[in-house]
Amino acid sequence: MITTIIVFIIVFGILVVFHEFGHYIVAKKSGIMVREFSIGMGPKLFYYRKKGTTYTVRLLPIGGYVRMAGGSDDEEEIKPGTPVTLKLNDQNIVTNINTSKKQTLFQGIPLIITSTDLEKDLWVEGYENGDESTVKRYSVDHDAIIIEEDGTEVQVAPIDVQLGSASLPKRMLTNFAGVFNNFVLAIVVYTILSFVQGGVLTNTNKVDVLPTDSIAKDAGIRSGDKILSVNNHQTDNWTEIAQQIQPNAGKKINVKIQRDNSTKELSLTPKKQKSGENTIGVIGITQSLDHSFKAKILSGFTQSWEMTKRLVLAIASMFSGHFSLNDLGGPVAIFATTSQATKFGLTGVLSFLAFLSLNLGIVNLIPIPGLDGGKLVLNIIEAIRRKPISENTETVITLIGFGFLMLLIVLVTWNDIQRYFLH
């Protein structure tokens, strides 16, 4: 259990951080201010500021986020009635605004905020030193720092560095960058996996035999043999072999093999093995490996492409046929599957990480408001209309999408708990 928890945290963390790093790097290159890049969620443990971005590490090691200036998660900073402390430079322009009661970093001017404009004209107004007879106004520097309630320092976000001020192509690239990074991660991990396991799994009817506990080995099958048919059903590749063997758990089957130029027919009985909620038949064989250097180098692309096709077909079948919550999986399902992946060691974890990365990338492209795909659809609509959707309309659409996603997450999580722990 401890190993599973550690692997789950590492895998989930790599997935989310890699995804968010895509948004981060393209936003920075596009002139969009990234106010915060967080690893983890919840209360902050520590932070570091550099070149306008605050990098935070937070308590809960589950994911992370990128907070872009003017983005949907960039909240209003200072509300009227908030007590703050101002630090001024030699020109009496505000360089620091302390809103945290936990921080007394500098001796400054105490002010009760009555109004602010930290986007266009850059000023704050309020009652100085408790004197409510006069409202004082101070100009705010373009790169001023706000110390938030939890003590985190972030830079103010003037309109010129906000997400909405970037050109449409730059915003589209920023929205797509997270998904792009997930595909890059999958390609890299699949390539590493091929070197770790010594070759690339091939989808042919040539098989390798497990060295121990192998029914196939006991029946006379050897590594390098080709399985030509199972129960007289022709098998030209690994997928067809699995389709014929797995449904026959505990049932005797006839297998025709080819070794060099000779053929032989064998009889054997696949043993029963649990796979999620199902029981499948296995005989102790694996896909053969292509050990060539070229295959290993190209494996990241080829395996990512093959898995992408399978995932897209699986998602398409959900929308075209009978939908079930069992077709979906949330963090609970990922945790349960992580437990199975760790049993296969490093290769199992790497394969699972690449699969999840592709899954996250493809799901994020679904045009649901709140996902990257939904944001891209709004970008496309803006391109067609040649003007952006009104802020109120976009807010309503985003809230509806967010509400739908939250409801789906709750339903999927409860369904996963029932499937994996209460069944």
Rounded distance, CA 105 to CA 100, Å?
Answer: 10
Rounded distance, CA 99 to CA 101, Å?
Answer: 7
Rounded distance, CA 22 to CA 194, Å?
Answer: 25
- Between strands 123-128 and 135-147, the pairing is antiparallel
Rounded distance, CA 203 to CA 201, Å?
Answer: 7
Name the phi and psi angles at 167, rounded to 5. -65, 160
Contact 249, 237 (CB under 8 A): no
Indicate the DSSP class of residue 220.
T
Which positions are catalytic? 20
Long-range contacts of 84-90 (CB under 8 A, 24+ apart): 84/110, 84/111, 84/112, 84/113, 84/124, 84/126, 85/109, 85/110, 85/111, 86/111, 86/124, 86/138, 88/138, 89/141
